Amino acid sequence: MEMNTRLQVEHPVTEMVTGLDLVEWQLRVASGEKLPLTQDQVQVSGHSIEARIYAENPAGGFLPGSGPLKYVREPTITDGSVRVETGVGQGDQVSIYYDPMIAKLVVKGKDRQDALRRMETCLSEYKIAGLSTNIEFLSSCVKHPEFQHGGVTTKFIPKNQAVLLPEDTGLDFSQDEGKVVGAALVAANAFYETNQYGTAEDSDATWFRIDGEGLTRSFDVSLPGAGKTRIGLQATYKNSPARRGQISVQVRKAGEPKTVVSATANLVARNPLDGETIFNLQVDQLRLSGVTCWWGVNEKTGEKTLNMFTSGRGFPRLQYQINFLNPDFSRADASGGATGSSVQAPMPGKVTKVMVKPGDTVEQGQPLALMEAMKMEHVLKSPRKGKVSEVLAQENDLVADSQELIKIA
């Protein structure tokens, strides 16, 4: 049995349905006062739900994460039915030394279904870039019929894993999602790179205007779940002569010249200092509003990363992270370790033990090192049989996410 002489993390749920301030009660009792109400006097109304917003990777076994919160937008509902309790904000770091919870999102509705609708809306408005979060997973849970009906057990996640944690399959232009995502990301790239609507942060010398017959541009991208697989796209942009802030887009996948997606994008707002762009998009008969984008640059590789947030209407996902790869991104190990030539840190943390040295012969699955991160110990194993060619980390080293630690020849 466990007994904690403190308020639990979920105490805001009780406060939302009772209208009481339990923290104030705790302080008053600690000062020697009596409880202001008896249990029979406590009135309960409505239904409340709390979701913990975590820096973690649900698709990667819910491994905790850490790093900078480069872009944060909280839900905009301000009618008293929503609480966001957090100790961090944009520009702060999620540390490797503490629990990676970013915030507690608490909603109240007149009943469970109303509360679930509010939670779904709030999760669609919660935007975070810079590290992985569980927001998408939480949204999938809230929308699942089994969860909505209250029939949830400890087997809920493994039973519904295909729905809650779907695999990413790239861009299929024969499907609405592929058309919309492809058009949206190249439209976002146009708004980002051109200085037609403001000062460009990162412009090529030839990419300042897209007048006349339009500008055709080719680039490579990788999407979530595809590792470093390159997807070649060719896009043509053209300004609207009648409406400032409107561009037309045609995009095709490399090797599929007959498959062309046409779209129109209208700029809604742009904040160069924050790297934020908001636009509306129409693809065929699909109209999508409030697409929000945030751009970042990987300090190690120089790649541009587009975090594209949606309302969930017209898009299966709330967030897409797309890497615009450098032209020279052609290293033999660019597949993220698929060649089995090295062992990398699965997350930021501390190396606590190194079990091998250069020249040692190792078997596939053999433990090579131990790491400590987020109050957990992680065993790093050899991806294949071979010989240790180089050990790049020592005990007590602090290492970054995906940092190469041991090379296998």
Question: Given this model, what pLDDT does residue 340 score?
Answer: 62
CA gap 143, 169 in Å, rounded: 22
Mean pLDDT of the 181-204 span: 62
Q: Evaluate if residue 169 carries a pLDDT over 70.
A: no
Confidence grade of residue 146 (pLDDT, cut at 50, 70, 90): very high
Kindly indicate the confidence band of residue 204, based on its pLDDT and cuts at 50, 70 and 90.
very low
Residue 114 has a pLDDT of: 97
pLDDT for residue 133: 94
- pTM for the model stands at 0.76
Q: Rounded CA gap, 53 and 75, in Å?
A: 12
Answer left, alpha or beta for residue 263, where phi above 0 means left and psi between -120 and 50 means alpha: beta
DSSP one-letter code for 242 = S
Among the options 6, 73, 117, 252, which is catalytic?
6
Q: Compute the distance between CA of residue 8 and CA of residue 52 in angstroms, rounded to an integer.
A: 13
21-25, 196-200, 220-224, 287-291, range with greatest mean pLDDT: 21-25
User: Is 165 exposed, middle or buried, given 0-12, 13-18 or 19+ CB atoms closer than 10 A?
Assistant: middle
Query: How many C-alpha atoms does 179 have within 13 Å on its Cβ side?
Result: 18
What is the full DSSP assignment across 289-356?
A: EEEEEEEEE-TTT--EEEEEE--SSS-S-SEEEEEE--TT---TTTTTSTT--EEE-SSSEEEEEE--
Token pair for 194: 């051109």
Look at the block and give the residue holding tokens 């009780």.
14
How much is the average pLDDT of 285-310?
78
Residue 379 has pLDDT above 90, yes or no: no
Per-residue pLDDT for 89 more than 70? yes
* Residue the block writes with tokens 């609480």: 83
Share of the chain above pLDDT 90, in %: 39
Note if 6 is an active site residue.
yes
CB 306, CB 275: distance < 8 Å: no
